[in-house]
Amino acid sequence: MKEEMQKVQLNLPATADFVDIVRLNLYGIASKMGFSYEDIEDMKVAISEACNNSVLYAYNHEDGLVGVTFEVSPEALIITVKDEGESFESYEKSDEGATLHGKELGEAPIGGLGFYLMQALMDDVSVVNESGRGTTVTLTRKLTRSEEKV
């Protein structure tokens, strides 16, 4: 019997106080899936960066919501962080925003370091900004079981 994708969805106020709740949910889901402690810690950093982008930039200190969806499959965990606020600059528009190579840390664009961290810690990262419709960050981490490592 083929397992189907399962979803867990959270809708939280876009404030820093609620990022811990997202991290706790991630820990519970990823540990049930069999991810290692190190993998989970990496994912916690990545999801915190994605949530912080929404908290810091999306609503310009106004009330708003951040939606977080965890899609669980036998092969991977796909995490989507979505807000409906102002889009932060797309890092894919220029190669400079997506990398820190040849730059001092202080030269990193606002939010650029977070994007760099997400890319370094996850298997796949996509950021979609839609004018007037917010930003969607999708983070994917493949599950590699220890018995498959030969």
Q: What pLDDT, on a 0 to 100 scale, did the predictor assign at position 146? A: 58
Q: What pLDDT, on a 0 to 100 scale, did the predictor assign at position 150? A: 39
What is the full per-residue pLDDT of the chain (150 aa) written as tens digits? 456 789 999 999 999 999 999 999 999 999 999 999 999 999 999 999 999 888 888 887 778 999 999 999 999 999 999 999 876 554 444 343 444 444 454 555 555 678 889 999 999 999 998 877 889 999 999 998 655 443
For 109, half-sphere exposure in the C-beta direction (CA atoms, 13 angstrom radius) is 17
Q: What pLDDT, on a 0 to 100 scale, did the predictor assign at position 4? A: 76
Q: What pLDDT, on a 0 to 100 scale, did the predictor assign at position 32? A: 96
Q: What pLDDT, on a 0 to 100 scale, did the predictor assign at position 97? A: 41
Residue 45 CA to residue 23 CA, distance in Å, equals 9
Q: How far is CA 123 from CA 82, 98, 120, 131, 141, in A?
A: 19, 15, 8, 27, 5
68 alpha-carbon distance from chain centroid: 9
Query: What domains are there in the chain, each with its CATH number?
Result: 6-144 (3.30.565.10)
Q: What pLDDT, on a 0 to 100 scale, did the predictor assign at position 111? A: 52
> What is the value of pTM for the model shown?
0.79
